[in-house]
């Protein structure tokens, strides 16, 4: 079930990328509001109507960037008690690495994987109502 859902998300994303184009950064959106993240530091934010919008489904998202100086196993958590969290992780070229909507507890999203040194972009998103959430990128515990 999870693999089918993930495959469906990847198929949808590939269609979206073809339909909406890219910015100079290579990412599939036109968002100019990017927050730099530090590993291990929780970031609290609110998804609202003034945030960036996904062209395909008109849902709000916040955009984050983080840099790894060396290969590292990381865990990205998006936690909210107000909505079902959804994460998108992109590499420096704007290619989707992974997306998730329920691998954290309850309605929280979690991505855990080994990443090479480089710059990465996260889209914190929901397909439901908007509200407050916490985003945390940290080294994962093997």
Domain ranges within the chain, ordered by starting residue: 2-139
Q: What is the CATH architecture of 2-139? A: Sandwich (2.60)
- Cα(1)–Cα(10) distance, rounded to whole angstroms? 14
CA atoms within 13 A on the CB side of 113: 14
Structure confidence by residue, pLDDT tens digits, 73-97:
999 999 999 998 999 999 999 899 9
Structure confidence by residue, pLDDT tens digits, 84-131:
899 999 999 989 999 998 776 788 999 999 999 999 999 999 887 889
- Cα(34)–Cα(91) distance, rounded to whole angstroms? 15
């Amino acid at each position: 079930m999870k693999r089918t859902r993930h495959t469906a998300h990847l198929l949808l994303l590939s269609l979206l990328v073809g339909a909406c184009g890219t910015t100079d950064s290579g990412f599939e959106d036109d968002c100019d509001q990017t927050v730099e993240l530090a590993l291990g530091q929780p970031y609290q934010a609110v998804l609202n109507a003034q945030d960036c919008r996904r062209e395909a489904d008109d849902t709000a998202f916040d955009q984050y960037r983080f840099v790894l100086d060396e290969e590292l196993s990381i865990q990205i958590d998006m936690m909210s008690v107000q909505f079902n969290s959804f994460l998108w992780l992109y590499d420096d070229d704007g290619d989707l690495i992974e997306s998730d909507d329920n691998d954290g507890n309850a309605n929280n999203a979690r991505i855990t994987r080994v990443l090479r040194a480089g710059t990465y972009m996260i889209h914190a998103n929901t397909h439901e109502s908007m509200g407050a959430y916490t985003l945390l990128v940290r080294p994962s515990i093997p």
